[in-house]
Amino acid sequence: MDPTATLAAGERAYPGVNVARDAFARFLAARPRATAEAGPELYLAFACGGGDPIALQAFETRYLPVARIAVKHLEVNADEVLQLLRVRFFVGPPPRILDFQGAGSLEGWVRASAVRIALDLKRRERTAAGVCSHELSQPDTELRHLKVRHGPAFERAFSQACASLSSRERAVLRLSTLGGASIDRIAATYGIHRATAARWLERIRDALHDRTLTALGAELGESDAGAASLLRLIASGLEVSLRRKLMSAEAH
């Protein structure tokens, strides 16, 4: 495949998208089975892997509707599938969109990936455990006592709070917590300003905290202040709980 011709075809198909020419040439050289017809798709995939916002928006517009249609008959939450697809393709390093080889169409690859994610979701719905677990890192005797006495209540409250998040909120947390994505990466994935992405993440974490607090207080029958005090004591386990809860929902 001629890198110059492929680059020109990609620039025509996706004006405004920028790629590093030498790096793109190496990307093509590593794909001896790629077809000329796949040239613009390889250009788009490479640009998406580099976080180009115009490329990401083009992918969103062109290929996510294909994924939605592909899973329509599988009786799953299509929005959840699309969010997981974004995480799978655009969280790295390196983002899996860069695994596209160009031997077939990008549309077919996206469709197959969406179906696999949907089937994984259905399988986990049948087998997944209901609540998330957490750990206390401090060896403090009082905390160990609280873990024994109140741990299940906290797990139920935190699991309830996690379940109340929208599919997009869970996906943003996956990007940040599991993928280690920066605010800039989250912003690029969703085609939004970095300040908006930062506000999203802050609101999601605040909602998770507040809903856990509310559910815990309701279960323990304590005042808000009492539940808040207890939540602070076991907050060291919150991030671990979040990671495990999100990992249990991550399509692999």
Long-range pairs for 111-116: beta carbons < 8 A, 24 or more residues apart: 111/66, 111/67, 111/70, 113/67, 113/85, 113/88, 113/89, 114/66, 114/67, 114/68, 114/70, 114/71, 114/81, 114/82, 114/85, 115/70, 115/71, 115/74, 116/251
Same domain, yes or no, for 33 and 141? no
Q: State the CB neighbour count (10 A cutoff) for residue 3.
A: 16
Same domain, 163 and 235: yes
> How many structural domains comprise the chain?
2
Percent of the chain with pLDDT over 70: 74
pLDDT tens readout for residues 93-146: 778 999 999 999 999 999 999 998 888 877 765 543 332 333 333 334 443 444
Domain co-membership, 81 together with 178: no
Domain end (from 126, 144, 173): 126
Same domain, 74 and 134: no
Q: Which of 126, 156, 172 is the last residue of a domain?
A: 126
Domain boundary among 126, 157, 173: 126
The label of the residue with tokens 């994984």 reads 120
pLDDT tens-digit map of 145-166: 444 566 677 777 777 888 888 8
- Same domain (yes/no): 162, 79: no
The residue range of the domain holding 158 is 129-249
Q: Give the integer Cα–Cα distance in Å for 231 and 68.
A: 39
Residues 14 and 120 reside in one and the same domain: yes
28 and 121 assigned to the same domain: yes
What are the tens digits of pLDDT across the range 217-234?
Answer: 777 765 545 555 555 555
- 42 and 137 in a single domain? The answer is no
Query: Which CATH number characterizes residue 225's domain?
Result: 1.10.10.10
Please check whether residues 119 and 142 belong to one and the same domain: no
Cα(89)–Cα(160) distance, integer angstroms: 28
Residues 55 and 94 both lie in one domain: yes
pLDDT value, residue 188: 77
Does residue 142 share a domain with residue 80?
A: no
Judge whether 107 and 58 are in contact, CB under 8 Å: no
Residues 162 and 234 in one domain: yes
Mean pLDDT of 243-248: 55
What's this model's pTM, rounded to 2 decimal places? 0.56
Weakest-pLDDT range from 24-28, 87-91, 116-120, 237-241: 237-241
